[in-house]
Chain A
Amino acid sequence: MPELNDQELEDELRTGLNRCVQSQASRLVGLEERVLAELRSRHRPQRLSAPRPAFGLSRRLALATVALALVIFAGGLFAGMQVERLQSGLANKGTGVQFVIAYPEAQSVAVAGDFTNWDKRPLERGPDGVWRLWVQLPPGRYEYAFIVNGSRWLPDPRASQFVRSYGNDLNSVIYVGKGGETS
């Protein structure tokens, strides 16, 4: 076979390619439409699936995290409700009541009553010799008395009502109304 120069080789290639294209020309008819149809058939709308785990976590790990968070939240909610219930005698919806008695010569003054289960709760002495204590009381009726120097029981001279208890003892009474008013 004689050697072809570059130009002759190019001509031979072009001729051969044209002959191939011509022979397949029939197959090219409607090619564009067939390709588009094939593409459409492959592009089906996808169903919405569950959201993908964020930040690359696996789905099971995400579920476990959510469950743990719910347990912690629910547990905290229940615990908080119980703490609130236990503290309700003093802190919830209560009125701040100040117990006051002027007794400069006393070494100690405490108050005891229905709201302390009759346990003695110490008052604080001010520089003016007046003893004071703030207590949060929910609405209700409360009997109480002061205890001076650990053993001497006295009614509150500022109270509006006194009641007898255990013979000759006098207790003071304080009422806390619905709106927090005291009497």
Chain B
Amino acid sequence: MKKLHGRGLILGLALAALLSSAALAATEQEVLNLIGQLPFSTADKAFLSTSYKKGMDEGRLAPDLAMDLLQKVGVQSNAPVDQRRDVLMTIGQALLEELPVDMLISKAEEGVAKGVPMSGILQEIQERKATLEQVKALFEQRGVHSNLTDRSSPYSQASIDAAITDVAGSLEDYVRGGNNPNDAPAVKAAVLNTLKLDGRLPTALVSAIDEHFSEIDLGTIAQAIATRIKNS
């Protein structure tokens, strides 16, 4: 009789867990199914599937956000197919490089909403991706890691990703706002102002960035942004 009690309990809980996991898997699968329907080559769709799945599995890309992006850029847009593909693949490449992509997706959707030509959207997100790469490299060089990379770190991957996004975004805003990229103290002040106002970031993380990132570190990236914009 005791065995019957135990088996009934285990069966009930296993059934509940199976139903729940099935619901979660369906959303990611919907994203992959939609990628499969896009008017791109087999190789391009395979790349998108691999990169977007990696992003979803690592928590950098929410399935509902992926669906929204794929619908707006891949399905509903009347822009040339190769430009739509390039926008989606730029974001896919960023996911493969383990970059936070919220800023790139937001800029792509903003561009679609405002009727910006897809070529302009592509240029915008390629420039911002380059900034994200430089900022991520700076985090690694200065030893500001997540607890996935460094078990002794108190910072979650989500916090580090938010910090990388804020640093890159504030540098872009500073330079695109017509401010002087050679004024390194002003560059760092602008970055810290954003970090302190963003409620997602732990205070200790903001302090660590202030301590480890020099004015020259951030000024160098600001100058690179200015160069990219000038050459575009």
B15 within 8 A of A: yes
A170 to B, closest residue via Cβ: B177
Residue on B nearest A63 in the bound complex, by CB: B8
Q: Which residues 104-132 of B sit at the A interface, judged by CB distance below 8 A?
A: 106-107, 109-114, 116, 120, 124
- Render B30-42 as a binary contact track against A, CB cut-off 8 A, 1 for contact: 0000000000000
Q: Which of B4, B24, B112, B120 contacts A118 (CB 8 A)?
A: B112
- CB distance A119 to B1 under 8 Å? no
Alpha-carbon gap, A77 to B17, bound state (A): 10
User: Which of A18-26, A37-45, A158-166 forms contacts with chain B?
Assistant: A158-166
Set A118, A138, A175, A183: member contacting B109, Cβ < 8 A: A118
In angstroms, Cα B113 to Cα A141, docked, is: 19
Task: Give chain B residues whose Cβ lies under 8 Å from the Cβ of A171.
Answer: 110
Q: Are A79 and B1 neighbours in the complex by a CB distance under 8 Å? A: no
Contact B111 A141 (CB under 8 A): no
**B80 CB-CB contact with A under 8 Å:** no
CB contact between A67 and one of B9, B68, B200 (< 8 Å): that residue: B9
Residue B76 interfacial (CB < 8 Å): no
B23 at the A/B interface (Cβ < 8 Å)?
yes
Q: Does A12 interact with chain B (Cβ within 8 Å)?
A: no
Q: Are A166 and B116 in contact, CB atoms less than 8 angstroms apart?
A: yes
CB distance from B127 to the nearest CB of A (A): 12
Please choose the segment from B45-53, B191-199, B215-223 that sits at the chain A interface, where 4 or more of its residues have CB less than 8 A away: B191-199
Cβ of B15 and Cβ of A71 under 8 Å apart?
Answer: yes
Contacts of A179 in B (CB 8 A): 199
| B177: contacting residue among A59, A68, A82, A163, CB under 8 A | A163
Once bound together, how far apart are the Cα atoms of A134 and B13, in whole Å? 40
Interface residues on B, range: 35 or more
**By DSSP majority rule, is chain B's interface helix, strand, loop, or mixed?**
helix
Q: B16 contacts A175, CB within 8 Å?
A: no
Contact of A177 among B166, B176, B177, B199 (CB under 8 A): B199
Nearest-CB residue, chain B, relative to A163: B173
- Number of A residues with CB within 8 Å of any CB on chain B: 43
Q: Which of A82, A164, A180 meets B176, CB within 8 Å?
A: A164
B64 in contact with A86 (CB, 8 Å): yes
Q: How far is the CA of A145 from the CA of B56 in the complex (A)?
A: 29
Contacts A70-B13, A112-B113, A139-B199; A117 near B194 (Cβ below 8 A): no
**Interchain CA distance A82-B19 in the complex, whole Å:** 12
Q: Does B208 contact A (CB under 8 A)?
A: no
Contact between chains at A114 and B199 (CB < 8 Å): no
- Select from chain A the residue with minimum beta-carbon distance to B20: A78
Bitwise interface map of A from 119 to 144 toward B, beta carbon under 8 Å scored 1, else 0: 11000000000000000001111010
Chain A residues, CB < 8 A from B68: 117
A117 to B70, CA, bound (A): 12
* Given known A118-B113, A177-B199, contact A70–B177 (CB-CB < 8 A): no
**Partner pick for B106 among A118, A178, A183, CB 8 A cutoff:** A118
Q: Would you call B114 and A141 a contact (CB within 8 A)?
A: no
Q: Per a CB cutoff under 8 Å, which of B20, B198, B199 touches A75?
A: B20
Does A50 belong to the interface (CB within 8 Å)? yes
Q: How far is the CA of A166 from the CA of B229 in the complex (A)?
A: 11
- For this complex, 22 residue pairs linking A to B, each with C-beta atoms less than 8 Å apart, are A64-B8, A66-B8, A67-B9, A70-B12, A70-B13, A71-B13, A74-B16, A79-B23, A114-B106, A119-B113, A139-B198, A141-B166, A163-B177, A164-B173, A164-B178, A166-B116, A171-B110, A175-B197, A175-B199, A177-B197, A179-B199, A181-B199
Q: A141-B169, A166-B116 are in contact. List 5 more A-B contacts (CB 8 A).
A: A60-B4, A67-B11, A86-B64, A165-B110, A183-B197
Top 6 nearest A-B pairs (CB, nearest first) are A139-B199, A74-B16, A78-B20, A175-B197, A67-B8, A118-B113
